[in-house]
Structure 1
Amino acid sequence: MSTQPATRYRGDFVAWTGVCGFIGEGGGAPIEPHSHYAIQLVLGAPAGLHVKLGRHGEWQACAAALVPSRAVHTIDVNDCDMSLVLFIEPETPEGKALATRLQHGPEFLDTDTVAVAAKRLERAWRFEKSYEAVQAVCMQLVRDLSGAASREPSDPRVLAAIDYIRQRVDESVSLPEVAKAVNLSPERFRHLFVEETGMPLRTYVLWRRLLHVWTLLMAGQNLSAAAHAAGFADAAHLSRTARTMFGLPPSVLQMRGPLSSQTREQQHLP
C-alpha cells in the first residue's frame, strides 16, 4: 500500500454496452471496503496497484485484479503511473463468462497477462488522446479475459428502444411505455431486450443515466447540473446510486484527463 501522500485522481470515462470505467492517474485515499453489482477489472501500470479483499484482508500487490459481483474489496492506485478500472454488468456475455471464471473468488493477474494492453492503453490515452482508441483497447482486454465476444444490440426494435431511452435520459420511463413505443407486448419486449443487451430494462435505464452523468462531467458540467440533466433528484441521489453501482461517489474523481480536456478545448470551455 502507498506510503506517499495521496494525489487527487485525474482521468477520463469510457463506456460501451454493459461496460464502463475510468482511466487516469492519481487516486486519493483508498475508499472504505465496499461491494457493488458490477464485476470489476482493475489494472495498474507499470506497477504499484494494491488490492485488499474482504473487510479485514491484507493489502496485496498485483498487476491487475478481477473482482466478482458483490465481493467486498478496496483498491489503492496512488503508486501507479496510470490505472484502469472497468465495471462489467454481470448479465452481459462478458459478465457471464467472467462470473464463471470467478466462481471461486477474486483473481489476481500477473504482469505478463496485461503488459501489452497496459502499454497500448497508455499510448492511446496519453499520446493519441483518442476516446475510440482507449475504448478499443479496453474492449479487447475484456474479450481476452472473458473469452466472450462483445455483442452490440442489432434487432431494430431494441435499437429503437435504446434511442427512445436516450432521448428521455432525464425522465422516468417504464417497460410498458417503451414496449408500446416499439410495437411489442411488454412480455415479448422484456425477453427481447435482455436477449439483445444482456440487461433488464430497469438496469439499462439506470446505466444510461449514469453514463450521461459522466459524459457531462467530462464536458465540464458541475456535479449538481449533471445530476439534474440525467434525471437524478440531486447530487446526493446521484452519489448514492454511483456508490451502489461503482463503490464510490462522483465527487472523488476529477474528469480532467487528456480525453475530457480535449473535449473542453473543442467546446472552448475552461
Structure 2
Amino acid sequence: MYERAADDGPLRPLWHVAGATTFFAGPLRYNAGHQHGAPVFLAGLYGDFRLRVGAQDWTTCRTAMIPAGCVHELDLGGDPLGVLYLEPDRFGVEALTPLLHGTREIAGALLGAAGETTPLRDLFEHRDGASAAGPALADLLAFAGRQPEPRIDGRIARAIRRLLAEPDATPSVGALAASVGLSASRFQHLFTDAVGVPFRRYRGWLRMRRAIGAVIDGNNFTGAAHAAGFADQAHFAHDFRRTFGAPASLSLRDIRR
C-alpha cells in the first residue's frame, strides 16, 4: 500500500527532460501495451508493481529494465512509479542494469526483486524535486555506471549525440548518415541493430521528449504540440498514448515545476 512520507498534501507528478535522461515519478494506474525508443529503468517507489512483457504472463517485480522496442504493460493501481529513460548515445541497457538487484530475465526484459528505488522515491517526495532531479539522476547514473565499455557503434553514437545536441533540427536520414560517413541504408541497419528500434521511431521518441519538455517549461498541450512539430494537439495526444500506453492528461497535467 502506498503511504507517502510527506504529509502536507498530495504530490503532483514530476517530469525531468535534459541531456541524455528523461525521468518521471508519479502515480499510475494501467498503461496498455507500449514500447519506447530508449531503454528504461522502472522502480516501484513504495512496493512491487505488476508488469507484462510482450505476450508473457503478468508478473510482479520491484524494479525492471526494459530495452528499447520491447512491448510491455504496467498495472500500478494508483501507486507511484519512478521511470528513468537513458538515451543510447554511448551505452545500451548495460548502463541501467546495475540499478536492479535479484534479477531474472523475461522475453528480453530484466526484472528485479529489489534495486535502487530510494533515490527516485526521495526525488518524488522532495518538494523541489523538479530542480533537484538533474544532479540526483547524475549521481545515480554515476553510481550505476562505473560504466561498462561502450557497446554502441561509434558512428551511431555520434549521430545520436547530434540529435540530442540539436533538438530543433530535423535532418533527413540521408544527411545524418552522410555526416557520420555512412549510406542511408547502412546507417538505418546499424541504427536498428545498436538502438533496438528503427531510426524513424527513435526520432519520434525525441519529438515526444521535446513536447514533454515544452510542457515542463509551462506550455499547454497545444503549445507543446506545435513546439515539438506535431500537426496539432490531437496528433500529440495520439502519439503520447501510443508511446506510454495512457493519456497525457494522467501524467502531464498539473505537474511540478
| TM-score, normalised by the number of residues in structure 2 | 0.66
Matched residue type, 2:44: G
Matched residue type, 2:23: G
- For 2:175 and 2:85, the matched residues in 1 are separated by 28
RMSD: 4.8
Partner of 2:13: 10
Q: Is the 8 A contact 2:95 2:144 kept in 1?
A: no
Residue 44 of structure 2 aligns to a residue whose secondary structure is: strand
Residue 166 of structure 1 aligns to a residue whose secondary structure is: coil
Equivalences for 1:85-100 in 2 at 5 Å?
Answer: 85-87=83-85, 93-95=91-93
Equivalences for 1:89-168 in 2 at 5 Å?
Answer: 93-95=91-93, 102=105, 104=107, 106-111=109-114, 113-115=115-117, 117-118=119-120, 121=123, 126=128, 129-140=131-142, 143=145, 148=148, 158=159, 161-162=162-163, 166-168=167-169
Partner of 1:74: 74
Partner of 2:238: 240
Partner of 1:20: 22
Matched residue type, 1:220: G
- For 2:162 and 2:33, the matched residues in 1 are separated by 33
Partner of 1:190: 187
C-alpha distance after superposition, 1:109-163 (max 9, x if no partner): 234x32554466458774683242133145347647xx74679998797489537
- For 1:183 and 1:74, the matched residues in 2 are separated by 38
Q: Is the 8 A contact 2:62 2:113 kept in 1?
A: yes
- For 2:253 and 2:190, the matched residues in 1 are separated by 32
Q: Is the 8 A contact 2:191 2:199 kept in 1?
A: yes
Q: Is the 8 A contact 1:158 1:193 kept in 2?
A: no
Equivalences for 1:202-213 in 2 at 5 Å?
Answer: 202-213=200-211
- For 1:152 and 1:107, the matched residues in 2 are separated by 19
Matched residue type, 2:218: G
Equivalences for 1:217-232 in 2 at 5 Å?
Answer: 217-232=215-230
Partner of 2:252: 254
| TM-score, normalised by the number of residues in structure 1 | 0.63
Q: Is the 8 A contact 2:50 2:59 kept in 1?
A: yes
Matched residue type, 2:141: M
Which structure is higher in helix share?
1
Matched residue type, 2:187: R
Partner of 2:7: none
C-alpha distance after superposition, 1:26-60 (max 9, x if no partner): 33xx2253131454421122x23421426795573
- For 1:67 and 1:189, the matched residues in 2 are separated by 26
- For 2:158 and 2:109, the matched residues in 1 are separated by 37
Partner of 1:44: 44
Residue 135 of structure 2 aligns to a residue whose secondary structure is: helix
Residue 232 of structure 1 aligns to a residue whose secondary structure is: coil
Q: Is the 8 A contact 2:163 2:169 kept in 1?
A: no
Shift of 1:228: 1.5
- For 1:9 and 1:56, the matched residues in 2 are separated by 32
Q: Is the 8 A contact 2:32 2:73 kept in 1?
A: yes
Structure 2: any 5+ residue segments left out of the alignment?
Answer: 3-9, 98-103
Partner of 1:267: none
Matched residue type, 1:238: F
Matched residue type, 2:62: A
Q: Is the 8 A contact 1:153 1:159 kept in 2?
A: no
Q: Is the 8 A contact 1:13 1:215 kept in 2?
A: yes
| Structure 1 residues 209 and 49: CA distance shift in structure 2, 3 A | same
Matched residue type, 2:247: P
Structure 1: any 5+ residue segments left out of the alignment?
Answer: 262-270
Matched residue type, 1:240: H
Matched residue type, 2:35: H
Shift of 1:215: 0.7
Matched residue type, 2:14: G
